[in-house]
Amino acid sequence: MEPVNTAVSAESDAADADSGTGEAPAAVTLGTIQLAVEELWPESLAEDWDEVGLVAGHPNAEVTRILFAVDPTTAVIEEAIDFGAELLITHHPLLLKGVTSVAANTAKGKAVHRLIESGTALMTVHTNGDSAVGGVSDVLADALGLQNVAPLTPAANGLPEEGIGRVGELDEVLTLGDFAARVFGILPSVAGGVRVSGDRDGLVRRVAVCGGAGDSLFGQVRASNADVYLTADLRHHPASEAREAAVNDRPYLIDVSHFASEWLWLPAAAEALGNVLADQGHDVEIRVSTTNSDPWDFILTPG
């Protein structure tokens, strides 16, 4: 599988912040980073069904390097170890469902062992990262140039600007074809590309987005009067029923890679955490994974 070709690294500027004091940067513990993560992406914003926070690792362990990634796959864990990261922060949980064993005779058990035996902590920032300001859908909306952005579903325990999905307006009317090209241009390159339902020459201005799987939000999308809805993992029945229920043929649908739609958040998240830690005088090197964890490798299309 090809690595993501839009690698971005974010490093804290703690060295600059410390210049003049003559003191070495303070060592940072995993527990301190947990507090910084909570400040940026509070666990109270996570959905009820979700499992976020620290998965493996000792709060007293010292952290000098952090890797951000979408999925805690074997390849990503090895990338974190090769980088020398003492902490891997992933968007998706490794252990979302209850487990009674982490014996190394399953893929997830092996992952837990590899993490602990290599001294690599694992932390999950999932729907709390989706919902927060500067979260997954916010970054997607920003990359598309949307303005007057608001959540599709406001957070139950948050501010009005926090919640799942976003809707906003382009600064100009675009054809659906040109908008899809814009979508294609901002996302990392993946085998599945970008799928579109609707008239290529139809005009769009109001855009709803939800990074990751968003086919539970069609009601909110219709209520938002969006011309087009961009999300991932659109299955046949929800997608075809949404098109049957379209008014004036809208909302059009754009289906993208789940991985790609969420990868966009990683550089912004790495930068945000780097800034918080740097402001506290901590010197931590933070990178974004270059592993493409989209499960698809190639596609055949007619013509």
* Site residues (vs Zn ion, CB under 5 A): 212, 262
CB of 154 to Zn ion, least distance (A): 20
CB of 62 to Zn ion, least distance (A): 30
Q: Which CB sits closer to Zn ion, 207 or 260?
A: 260
Q: Which two tokens stand for residue 255?
A: 């289906």
Q: Which two tokens stand for residue 75?
A: 């390849």
CB of 171 to Zn ion, least distance (A): 28
Q: Which residue is nearest to Zn ion (CB)?
A: 212
Q: What is the DSSP pairing of strand 285-288 with strand 65-69?
A: parallel
Running DSSP on this structure, what letter comes out for residue 44?
G
Separation between Cα atoms, residue 110 and residue 105, nearest integer Å? 7
Q: Which CB sits closer to Zn ion, 57 or 212?
A: 212
Burial of 256 (0-12, 13-18, 19+ CB in 10 A): buried
CB of 258 to Zn ion, least distance (A): 5
CB of 160 to Zn ion, least distance (A): 24
Alpha-helix residue ranges (DSSP H) falling in the chain: 14-18, 30-40, 74-83, 107-117, 127-131, 136-143, 176-186, 218-223, 236-244, 258-263, 265-279
Running DSSP on this structure, what letter comes out for residue 3?
P
* Selection from 58, 49, 55, 79 nearest residue 67 by Cα: 79
Phi and psi torsions of 11, nearest 5°:
-125, 145
Q: Which CB sits closer to Zn ion, 210 or 286?
A: 210
- Annotation: binding site for a divalent metal cation: 91-92, 130, 258, 262
Q: Which CB sits closer to Zn ion, 63 or 183?
A: 183
Running DSSP on this structure, what letter comes out for residue 45?
G
Q: Which CB sits closer to Zn ion, 25 or 165?
A: 165
CB of 24 to Zn ion, least distance (A): 39
Q: Which CB sits closer to Zn ion, 79 or 262?
A: 262
CA triplet 11, 14, 279: central angle to 5 degrees? 105
In which residue are the tokens 């289906």 written?
255
CB of 272 to Zn ion, least distance (A): 19
* Selection from 183, 149, 174, 179 nearest residue 260 by Cα: 183
Q: Measuring CA to CA, how many Å separate 85 from each of 53, 88, 279?
A: 17, 7, 21
Q: Which CB sits closer to Zn ion, 142 or 233?
A: 233
Radius of gyration of the chain (CA): 20
